[in-house]
């Protein structure tokens, strides 16, 4: 005898009761899924808004004692970062230093300036993500990043300048920029124009993250996150060979993206501790300093996220409890309706285990159908929470408006964890509260089941 088939038949014969039980499971799972999506969405949206407004870089690491001239072997940095486990981050490197330049001719005495030069790894696609720039004009409109421009075979010894320099010096793409290397060799004077390095301006970019000025480290104003308004970009190989005085395979700045806005400080401290305890003398001998570029609003955003997470968790817990009671009562009613059939089956020899399997099959089928439908409806339910979320956020934490501006928007985020957690919770709650009537049905008194009135008289 197939007890599963009997369970299926019971579901088909009592369609209304089956549908009501599925709806109860659907309600609980959809609310849990909706609140999970809302919680993940506000977290993802805040990360998105902050990254959109302030760029990809979360913190920088450099030598506190001598940030301009302490060059660190790139291989040592790479090996040390590759050995760090337990945190989720991305990194890239740059070389930064102030160098004298003249934008127009070979007469550096009349028109020399001190700008911040940035040598970037033009072959690294992450370099673009660590800045916040838009290309205003370029010699090749098909090239969309600084990396592509600096590595393009059509440009030789090219550079990219910011709009600040272009407007100040009345420069445009295609013109020449001359760079004087810092102390290239003894007894060479900067007045000698033959020692200047010739660069072609291949593009002019605009800094979209000028608010980064809020986060300048206190000890100097030249180490703010890329791109500063007064920067000139060159490929890092050119920077190593010429501009930065022959520092091959060395860097002096590490840019880190923590991939979690709430874990910037912990990620930074983990990396700094790794550097401090490194077995590599070129690493542990350096006095590394980390600066959280987004510390200005870390606490407020964390408080907002925790506030909404707590509300959603409370709402989910209450709704699951109500739905669990509904599921149990519906299964109990179904059992009572089938009490006489249970008595007959027990009288003809069906074991307690067989009765249990019949009812647990019904609970399993209903829980799976209800949980799957709940996941689908959970996406729609999330809009009930996300609709007013923007306005609630601005009302509870009005400073968010000054941080991210009027462009604050909610991004829908659906994670695999939310899907798995909602589905498994729906199955677990349904099976647990469906098992109670199943155990009760398996242990029912046969005589009472066959003739409840007789048992009452006795």
pLDDT tens, position by position, 76-107? 999 999 999 889 999 998 888 877 777 655 44
User: Residues 194-211: what's their mean pLDDT?
Assistant: 78
- pLDDT beyond 80 at 399: no
- By DSSP bridging, strand 158-162 and strand 197-207 are parallel
Task: Give the domain-ending residue among 292, 324, 347.
Answer: 292
Lowest mean pLDDT: which of 98-112, 162-176, 400-414? Answer: 98-112
Predicted local confidence at residue 185, as pLDDT: 58
Q: Which of 136-150, 189-203, 325-339 has the highest mean pLDDT?
A: 136-150
* Cα separation, 173 vs 152, whole angstroms: 15
Query: Domain check: are 358 and 316 in the same one?
Result: yes
Predicted local confidence at residue 89, as pLDDT: 93
Query: Domain check: are 271 and 407 in the same one?
Result: no
Per-residue tokens: 353:
């285990």
Predicted local confidence at residue 6, as pLDDT: 65
Task: Please state, for a pLDDT cut of 70, what percent of the chain lies above it.
Answer: 70
User: Residues 290-299: what's their mean pLDDT?
Assistant: 68
Predicted local confidence at residue 18, as pLDDT: 74
Query: Domain check: are 274 and 137 in the same one?
Result: yes
Q: Select from 393, 211, 368 the least CA-distant residue to 301.
A: 393
Query: Domain check: are 269 and 350 in the same one?
Result: no
Query: Domain check: are 280 and 319 in the same one?
Result: no
**CB contact burial 36-63 (16+ within 10 A = b; e otherwise):** bbbbbbbbbbbbbbbbbbbbbbbbbbbb
Q: Select from 425, 308, 330, 328 the least CA-distant residue to 375.
A: 425
Task: Give the domain-ending residue among 269, 292, 315.
Answer: 292
- pLDDT beyond 70 at 315: yes
Q: What is the DSSP-derived secondary structure letter of residue 215?
A: G
Query: Domain check: are 203 and 315 in the same one?
Result: no
Model confidence band, residue 193 (pLDDT cutoffs 50, 70, 90): low
Helix residue ranges per DSSP H, 159-235: 163-169
Query: Domain check: are 182 and 247 in the same one?
Result: yes
- Would the CA dihedral through 186, 191, 196, 199 be positive or negative? positive
User: Residues 195-204: what's their mean pLDDT?
Assistant: 87
User: Residues 7-22: what's their mean pLDDT?
Assistant: 70
Contacts of 281 (CB under 8 A, 6+ apart): none
Model confidence band, residue 221 (pLDDT cutoffs 50, 70, 90): very low
User: Residues 111-136: what's their mean pLDDT?
Assistant: 79
Domain count, the chain: 2
- pLDDT beyond 90 at 202: yes
More confident: 198 or 391:
198
Lowest mean pLDDT: which of 75-79, 386-390, 450-454? Answer: 450-454
More confident: 89 or 62:
89
Query: Domain check: are 159 and 267 in the same one?
Result: yes
Query: Domain check: are 21 and 99 in the same one?
Result: no
Predicted local confidence at residue 406, as pLDDT: 56
DSSP 45-106: HHHHHHHHHH-S--EEEEESS-TTT--EEHHHHHHHHHT--SS--EEEEEEEEEEEEESSSS
Task: Give the domain-ending residue among 292, 310, 338.
Answer: 292
Predicted local confidence at residue 212, as pLDDT: 47
What pLDDT digit, counting tens, does each position of 253-285 carry?
A: 888 988 877 788 889 999 999 999 999 988 888
Query: Domain check: are 259 and 111 in the same one?
Result: yes
Lowest mean pLDDT: which of 20-29, 78-87, 151-160, 395-404? Answer: 395-404
Domain that holds residue 411: 3-52+299-457
More confident: 228 or 264:
264
Q: Select from 280, 279, 291, 229 the least CA-distant residue to 254.
A: 291
User: Residues 200-215: what's their mean pLDDT?
Assistant: 69
Per-residue tokens: 7:
């369970």
Query: Domain check: are 136 and 31 in the same one?
Result: no
Predicted local confidence at residue 21, as pLDDT: 77
Per-residue tokens: 244:
């930065």
DSSP-derived 3-state class of residue 123: coil
161 close to 171: Cβ distance less than 8 angstroms: yes
What pLDDT digit, counting tens, does each position of 419-438 carry?
A: 888 888 888 887 777 777 76
447 close to 369: Cβ distance less than 8 angstroms: no
- pLDDT beyond 70 at 299: no
Query: Domain check: are 224 and 91 in the same one?
Result: yes
Predicted local confidence at residue 169, as pLDDT: 79
More confident: 226 or 72:
72
Phi, psi of 175 (to 5 degrees): -80, 175
């Amino acid at each position: 005898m197939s007890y599963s088939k009997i369970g299926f038949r019971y579901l088909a014969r009592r369609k209304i009761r089956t549908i009501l039980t599925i709806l109860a499971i659907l309600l609980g799972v959809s609310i849990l899924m909706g609140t999970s999506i809302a919680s993940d969405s506000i977290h993802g949206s805040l990360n998105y808004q902050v990254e959109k407004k302030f760029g990809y870089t979360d913190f920088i690491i450099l030598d506190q004692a001598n940030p301009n001239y302490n060059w660190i072997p790139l291989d040592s940095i790479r090996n040390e970062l590759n050995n760090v486990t337990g945190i989720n981050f991305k990194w890239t490197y740059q070389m930064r230093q102030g160098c004298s330049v003249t934008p127009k001719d070979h007469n550096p005495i009349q028109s020399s300036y001190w700008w911040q030069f940035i040598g970037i790894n033009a072959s690294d696609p992450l370099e673009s993500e660590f800045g916040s720039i838009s290309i205003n004009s370029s010699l090749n409109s098909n090239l969309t990043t600084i990396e592509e421009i600096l590595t393009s075979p059509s440009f030789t010894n090219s550079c990219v300048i910011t709009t600040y320099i272009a407007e100040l010096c009345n420069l445009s793409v295609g013109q020449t920029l001359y760079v004087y290397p810092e102390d290239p060799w003894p007894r060479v004077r900067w007045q000698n124009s033959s020692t200047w390095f010739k660069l072609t301006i291949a593009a002019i970019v605009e800094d979209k993250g000028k608010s980064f000025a809020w986060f300048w480290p206190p000890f100097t104003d030249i180490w703010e996150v890329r791109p500063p308004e007064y920067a000139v970009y060159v490929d890092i190989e050119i920077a190593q060979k010429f501009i930065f005085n022959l520092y091959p395979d060395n860097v002096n700045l590490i840019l880190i993206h923590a991939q979690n806005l709430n874990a910037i400080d912990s990620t930074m401290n983990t990396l700094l501790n790794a550097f401090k305890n490194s077995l590599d003398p070129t690493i542990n001998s350096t006095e590394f300093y980390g600066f959280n570029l987004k510390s200005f609003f870390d606490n407020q955003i964390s408080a907002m996220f925790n506030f909404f997470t707590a509300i959603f968790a409370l709402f989910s817990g209450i709704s699951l409890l109500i739905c669990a009671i509904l599921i149990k009562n519906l299964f109990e009613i179904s059992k009572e309706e089938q009490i006489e059939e249970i008595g007959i089956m027990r009288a003809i020899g069906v074991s307690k285990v067989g009765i249990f399997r019949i009812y647990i099959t019904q609970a399993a089928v209903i829980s799976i159908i209800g949980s799957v439908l709940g996941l689908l409806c959970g996406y729609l339910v999330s809009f009930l929470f996300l609709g007013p979320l923007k306005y609630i956020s601005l009302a509870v934490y009005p400073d968010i408006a000054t941080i991210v501006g009027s462009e604050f928007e909610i991004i829908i985020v659906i994670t695999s964890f939310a899907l798995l957690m909602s589905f498994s919770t729906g199955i677990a709650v349904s099976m647990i509260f469906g098992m109670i009537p199943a155990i009760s049905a398996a242990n029912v008194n046969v005589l009472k089941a066959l003739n409840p009135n007789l048992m009452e008289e006795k």
